[in-house]
Structure 1
Amino acid sequence: MTHGIQPPAQIPLFPIRGCILLPGEHLPLNVFEPRYLNMVDDAMAGDRYLGIVQPSNSGPREKPELCSIGCAGVIASRNETEDGRYLIVLQGVIRFDISAEAEPLTPYRVAHADYARFGGDLTPQALSPEVDRESFLSLLARFFDHMGLDADWESLAQAPVSTIADKVAMAAPFDADAKQALLEAVDPPARIATLASMMSLTLDASGDPPR
């Protein structure tokens, strides 16, 4: 990999439906299942990398099939609660394709990760001129109002559109398939366009007219 970042060729997987991690963003997690407590311990003793991936709707419940693309993150912090849970924060680094799953030598799943398609995740990317900040923020305000969500609009006014879009993509209450589409968007402009389309569809379905 470039830029001195060397994510592991084999990465422990934390499958969570309806949850994505994007490069550069932070994801707080409450870890309580024994196999995932074991996974966090192993990661902390090694390179601190975990892979967030969504399960699909197929396969056995105890080992469902997984979406083919996830995101590698580094454990930025870990705190243990009195009842033995871990509260961790993952910092997203780079997306990956799951080329195959490794032989099960641990109670948690491990993937052979291929990062080749996602080298751009490691480099800040300029937005194209077609990204209209004012229109996007206006749509976002309508969507938040419709969903009953709060936002620090003063801070958002100062943030890059790509950062705003990534935070909304991770936090907004879209279904698992929509979340995966946002994760798989090829670059920030594509993710912004995908998110804008999803917000518009939600508003159109609700009968909220454009303003």
Structure 2
Amino acid sequence: MNIEKNAMPTHRFVLPFERLPATLPIFPLRNAVVMPGAQLPLNVFEPRYLNLVFDSLGAERMIGMVQPDSAAKGEHQPKLYRTGTAARISSFSETPDGRLLIVLTGVCRFDIREEIPTTRGYRRVVPDWDRFRDDYELSGPVPGDPGKIMELLKEYFQRKNLNPNWPVLTQLPLPVLVNVLITQLPFDVPERQALVETVSIEERYAKLLGLLEFEMVAARVGTDAKPH
């Protein structure tokens, strides 16, 4: 799992909430979200998105990740979900064949107020940050039993044959852990988007817990139903 241990809003490279940009270039990508405090690696090769990265590196280093909404049809380009996450380019490297390998670190979610025209191939929006000021507060307690989600995760990772970095996961504040799991776990697009749009960490934690519990119950039933 990609985690930046110092990716809290007080990180010296993170813009203060009051200085978040008035416009934001966006990278619409299905099943790719990056919640605040989590990291997302991207392989960038399309010319328009290379333009986006280079332009961002020359400005605030901020990119908005928004999922396309396959249920809504656009006339010329895919419709977008209303809510995404702004992330900073925390590292990048070039490849000999002309690609960029970048790592995005999530900063703050936003709602799309409007889309504005551009001349560089990629899309740009006017973000509304107001609902997500609390994304800058990721260290507070979350009501509930932290041990419950860890037990579910042990079973989840075992069934998926995954070997996470447990020492790092167990040391994360619960709000950061929730955001990292939303970013990294292979949820369906509508499920992941519902988590992205959930404002409070308490509700987000409850929804995440519910999804994990449902999947584990379904997996147990499926295993029990198989002939021996």
The answer to whether the 8 Å contact 1:125/1:188 transfers is no
CA contact (8 A) 1:7 1:72 kept: no
C-alpha deviation, 1:70, in angstroms: 0.6
Evaluate the alpha carbon distance shift between residue 86 and residue 204 of structure 1 in structure 2; reply closer, same or farther with a 3 A threshold: same
Supply the distance in 2 between the matched residues of 1:208 and 1:169 (Cα, whole angstroms): 24
Separation in structure 2 between the aligned mates of residue 108 and residue 31 of structure 1, nearest angstrom: 13
8 Å CA contact 1:127, 1:189 repeated in 2: no
For 2:21, the equivalent position in structure 1 comes to 8
Give the Å deviation of 1:82. Answer: 0.4
Letter matched to residue 152 of structure 1: N
In 2: Cα distance, 1:147 partner to 1:61 partner: 39
Match of 1:168 in 2: 181
Per the normalisation by structure 1, the TM-score is 0.90
Query: d(CA) in 2 for partners of 1:99 and 1:4?
Result: 17
- Is the counterpart of residue 147 in structure 1 residue 160 in structure 2? yes
- TM-superposed CA distance for 1:5, in Å, is 5.0
Give the total of aligned pairs: 207
Name the residue aligned to 1:132.
145
Is the CA contact 1:22–1:94 (under 8 Å) kept in the aligned structure 2?
A: yes
- Partner of 1:38, secondary structure, is helix
27-36 vs 97-106, which deviates more? 97-106
- Is 1:203 aligned with 2:207? no
- Indicate conservation of the 8 Å contact 2:198/2:204, yes or no: yes
Identity %: 37
Q: Check 1:62–1:82 CA distance in 2 against 1; reply closer, same or farther (3 A cut).
A: farther
Picking from 61, 64, 75, the partner of 1:48 is 61
Q: Tell me by how many angstroms 1:9 deviates.
A: 1.1
Unaligned ranges ≥5, structure 2: 1-14, 223-228
- Tell me the alpha carbon deviations over residues 171-210 of structure 1, each in whole angstroms, 9 at most, x when there is no partner: 111111111112112122222211111111111222359x
Structure 1: runs of 5+ lacking an equivalent = none
Post-superposition CA distance 1:99-145 (Å, at most 9, x none): 110023331110010101111111235223x3201111111111112
Return closer, same or farther for 1:196/1:38 CA change in 2, 3 Å cut-off. Answer: same
User: Kindly tell me: are residues 185 and 37 of structure 1, through their superposed partners in 2, closer, same or farther at Cα, counting changes over 3 Å?
Assistant: same
Q: Name the Cα RMSD after superposition.
A: 2.0
Q: Tell me, yes or no, if the aligned pair for 2:68 and 2:81 is still in contact at 8 Å.
A: yes
Equivalent residue for 2:226?
Answer: none
Structure 2 length-normalised TM: 0.84
Amino acid of the residue matched to residue 170 of structure 1?
T
| In structure 1, C-alpha distance between the alignment counterparts of 2:200 and 2:60, rounded to whole Å | 27
Structure 2 SS opposite 1:52: strand
Residues 126 and 4 from structure 1, CA distance in 2 versus in 1: closer, same or farther, beyond 3 angstroms? closer
CA distance in 1, matches of 2:119, 2:217: 49
Deviation, structure 1 residue 22 = 0.8
